[in-house]
Amino acid sequence: MNFKKIEGLIAAPFTPMHNDGSLNLDIIPKYANHLIENGVKGVFICGSTGEGVSMTLDEKLKVMAAWANTPLFRVMLVGGTSLEECKFLARKSAAMGFDAFALIPPFYFKPANVSVLADCCAEVAAAAPDLPFYYYHIPVLAGSGFALLPLLEAVNERIPNFAGIKYTDENLMDFAQCLQFKNQKFD
């Protein structure tokens, strides 16, 4: 599959909450309009800034529903410690009309090597095969610090909907190699 590359700024919005920690979803349409007015083209929902890994499944579903009708390009982070929950959220992302989804690697029982990480990616990506799939690389929080060029080599022909990497790391050599992989094939 060839997906259109993302263009423009993709924001990682906070998940709005009340002082007691409950979700404040009523503000999301205004939040989305504010981002659009400032030139933002898309949002990465429930990522690190959005505190997705700290939310319950029910909270994630409510946040997804609140962002679903915004005109922004929407990427849902489905990652967590349960691959079954990740696959469920990937299917929900597709059903709710999201534009893409992303996986952070399991961060308690971490993948032992790039091959196992590729297996995790393949399993979750297959849950929503018509949506672009991104791998969220943030080793300082997820603890999976593999170089990602070998991951791209492992998933290139294996995961048809693999679209790219949300690369949040300081390894600029690996980043540059990922950018140049297969003539800049991936985001």
CA distance 182 to 67: 34
Planar angle of CA 146, 149, 154, nearest 5 degrees: 95
Give CA torsion, residues 156, 159, 160, 165, to 10 deg. -70
Concerning whether 134 is annotated as a catalytic residue, the answer is: no
In the set 136, 167, 182, 185, the catalytic residue is: 136
Of 166, 167, 182, 185, the catalytic one is: 166
Q: Are 103 and 136 in contact (CB under 8 A)?
A: yes
Which residue in this structure is represented by tokens 């534009």? Answer: 99
Is-contact 151 118, C-beta < 8 A? yes
Question: What strands, in cross-sheet order, belong to the sheet with 100-103?
Answer: 10-11, 42-45, 73-77, 100-103, 133-137, 162-167
8 A C-beta contact, residue 23 and residue 54: no
| Residue 41 is among the residues annotated as catalytic for this protein | no
Residue 72 CB neighbour total at 10 angstroms: 20
Which residues are part of the catalytic machinery? 136, 166
